[in-house]
Amino acid sequence: MLPLWLPTARGDTILAHQDEERERPNDPASGLTLRDGWQTRFEEYAARFRVTFQRADQFLRFRVYLRGLLEPSDRKNVESIAAAAGRVITTEANLAQALQHFVSHSPWDASRLFAAVRRTLAVRADSGAVWVIHDGAFAKKGRHSVGVQPQFARALGKKINCQVGVFVTQVGPAGYFPLTARLYLPAAWLREHGAGTAVPVDARQPASKAEIALRLLDELRGEGEVPAVTGEPGYLEDPGFQEGLQALGGSVRSESAGAVAGAVLRFDWLRNALGLDHFEGRTWHGWHHHVGLVFAAYGFLCSEAGGEEAPPFRSPHLSPL
């Protein structure tokens, strides 16, 4: 029975077990607990990402957005981010509008940000880790966001109106790290909307979530060897997934339900503490930009925990088995 340590709103941890009813971490509206002097260290951390952005205005808004994700707020949308962090970093007029453009439409590459976070955290240093592939459902009220339709949300066990992302994360003795993600576009949605949206051409052909996962693993393989992989049943039971994984030089780790449960619990924490599912834009690029920015904010919390390979809720009990 795997002990799972979860961060709370107070910054300490609570203990849950794999066979207990899954408990959502507390809503950290009161703010994340950060060590004195974190603002200076934040600027040093953010500076590592300067080369990710081609323009100075993009980097400025990156700093504002990242800082806003770390500030206390019930809702991490562009308005609250601008109100919480803008006054600290910039006096730019119409900042919320500028941030909305930055996250939804500005031409910067989210995959470069994902890669920069991975380099900053040196995640591959954890030789005992396993990579976990799982869904991430983003509930939506309307029908105008890219990829949204009634579809099964695995974490809730039912169909809801939502977007679904494919997430690759790392779980091991050193902790939990999100590696990369991509939005899943249902075939029915593509038939109705795909040609009229700003979705990249290579994403307009229907692909299963397992196929998307293999593409993400192939991209990660460019940075080094693919370790043992596990995931939710929908991935592992896909007929072509294990064959595709073997072609990439990876293998499936069996009997690793604890790692999957741990990754999903920590995904919930990212939603609650850093607003992973608070993005209110509708675009393909906006979804990936926001997710990458949340990963970067999480990376800062990892560095604040006393080591760039240790998340803020690290535990010696965390294991991929």
Q: Is residue 317 part of a domain?
A: no
CA dihedral 177, 124, 68, 291 (to 10 degrees): -70
- Residue 231's pLDDT is 96
The domain total for the chain is 1
SS3 state at 109: coil
- Residue 32's pLDDT is 63
Mean pLDDT check: name the lowest of 22-31, 111-120, 266-275: 22-31
d(CA 106, CA 109): 9
Domain that holds residue 155: 25-304
Model pLDDT for residues 271-292, shown as the tens digit of each residue = 999 999 999 999 999 999 999 9
Model pLDDT for residues 245-279, shown as the tens digit of each residue = 999 999 998 778 889 999 999 999 999 999 999 99
Q: Name residue 153's amino acid.
A: A
Q: Is residue 15 part of a domain?
A: no
pLDDT band for 123, please (50, 70, 90 cuts).
low
pLDDT band for 218, please (50, 70, 90 cuts).
very high
Model pLDDT for residues 172-197, shown as the tens digit of each residue = 888 889 999 999 999 999 999 877 77
Q: Is residue 281 part of a domain?
A: yes
Mean pLDDT in residue range 151-168: 94
Contact (CB, 8 A) for 166 and 135: yes
Whole-number Cα distances in Å, 39 to 36, 79, 143, 295: 8, 21, 39, 18
Which of 6-10, 15-19, 203-207, 287-291 ranks highest by mean pLDDT? 287-291
Q: Is residue 13 part of a domain?
A: no
Q: Is residue 230 part of a domain?
A: yes
Whole-number Cα distances in Å, 94 to 58, 80, 90, 127, 301: 15, 13, 11, 46, 29
d(CA 311, CA 33): 13
The average confidence (pLDDT) of the chain is: 83
Q: Is residue 1 part of a domain?
A: no
Output the pTM of the full model: 0.86
The DSSP result for 206-255, as a single string, is: ---HHHHHHHHHHHHHTTS---EEEE-HHHHTSTTHHHHHHHTT-EEPSS
Q: Is residue 260 part of a domain?
A: yes
Q: Is residue 313 part of a domain?
A: no
Q: Which residues contact 191 (CB under 8 A, 6 or more apart)?
A: none
Alpha helices in 150-208 (DSSP H): 187-193
Burial group, residue 246, by CB count within 10 angstroms (0-12, 13-18, 19+): exposed
Return the residue matching tokens 């260290």.
41
Mean pLDDT in residue range 72-89: 86
